[in-house]
């Protein structure tokens, strides 16, 4: 790509985010974040994000619940022992994680071909615990959908047993809803727990997919 073409492409991207050719927000003289997804996440965050910042690789394992493959005799969903679901831990007493295949109960998979029902047999919490660099800025996002009307889920992130709420999110059962934000790893935080907590439902409810927890580079 020529320098002229590159300059035009950057100018076009900046205009889409109300930036001028210098990468400065029109009318405010504040630096713009060129990554539109990251810019949305930063809107309600106290964090300052660099103009050139980008979202890195997802730190979560099996973030789309694509394994194990749903192949139960019950049809388009399976309740797997938690040990068979890579990456994820459950707070459920029976240690089961329920994964749905695309189209089960007429619900499409928004990404890939599978997603999880948070409340498999009881109100549940699904989590992963990671070792992250202290002070690291992280981007988080997930897709949420109610199963039976409007349902609520809370995202908590922080040291195990001392996670901080990142918000309570309510979603209807008519579509998948996207939520995102930023989290700064504590200076004295050798382990960080990422937890999706059911606040509604009992033996069913709260559909989740495409969970992301990635460094901002």
Average pLDDT for 44-60: 90
**Distance (Å, rounded) from C-alpha 106 to C-alpha 108?**
6
pLDDT, averaged across the chain: 87
pLDDT at 9 over 50: no
Query: Which range, of 2-6, 57-61, 83-87, 139-143, averages the lowest pLDDT?
Result: 2-6
Residue 95: other Cβ atoms inside 10 A: 13
Give the bridge partners for 155, in sequence order.
Answer: 167, 196
pLDDT at 32 over 80: no
Residue 204: other Cβ atoms inside 10 A: 17
Nearest Cα residue to 212 out of 39, 48, 38, 13: 38
Q: What is the pLDDT of residue 107?
A: 97
Sheet holding 125-130, edge to edge: 89-90, 125-130, 192-198, 151-158, 164-171
> What sign results for the dihedral spanned by CA atoms 62, 88, 177, 48?
negative
Average pLDDT for 111-118: 97
Model confidence at 109, in pLDDT bands (50, 70, 90)? very high
**Distance (Å, rounded) from C-alpha 41 to C-alpha 212?**
12
**Distance (Å, rounded) from C-alpha 108 to C-alpha 118?**
16
Its pTM stands at 0.84
Model confidence at 169, in pLDDT bands (50, 70, 90)? very high
**Distance (Å, rounded) from C-alpha 208 to C-alpha 122?**
15
pLDDT at 8 over 70: no
Q: What is the pLDDT of residue 149?
A: 95
Buried b / exposed e over 162-195, threshold 16 CB at 10 Å, is ebeebeebebeeeebeebbbbbbbbeebeebbbb
The residue among 217 and 158 whose pLDDT is bigger is 158
pLDDT at 160 over 80: yes
């Amino acid at each position: 790509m020529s320098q002229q073409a590159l300059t035009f492409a950057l100018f076009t991207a900046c205009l889409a985010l109300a930036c001028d050719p210098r990468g400065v927000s029109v009318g405010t003289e504040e630096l713009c974040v060129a990554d539109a997804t990251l810019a949305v996440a930063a809107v309600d965050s106290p964090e300052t994000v660099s103009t050139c910042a980008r979202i890195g690789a997802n730190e979560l394992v099996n973030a789309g619940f694509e394994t194990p493959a749903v192949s139960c005799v019950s049809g388009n969903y399976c309740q797997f022992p938690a040990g068979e679901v890579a990456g994820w831990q459950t707070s459920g007493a029976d240690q089961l994680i329920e994964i749905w295949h695309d189209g089960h109960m007429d619900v499409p998979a928004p990404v890939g071909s599978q997603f999880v029902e948070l409340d498999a047999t009881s109100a549940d919490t699904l989590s992963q615990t990671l070792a992250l660099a202290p002070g690291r800025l992280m981007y988080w996002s997930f897709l949420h959908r109610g199963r039976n009307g409007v349902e609520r889920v809370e995202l908590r992130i922080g040291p195990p047993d001392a996670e901080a709420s990142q918000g309570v999110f309510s979603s209807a059962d008519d579509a998948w809803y996207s939520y995102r934000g930023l989290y700064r790893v504590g200076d004295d935080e050798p382990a960080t727990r990422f937890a999706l907590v059911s606040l509604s439902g009992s033996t069913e409810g709260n559909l989740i997919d495409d969970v992301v927890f990635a460094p901002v580079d």
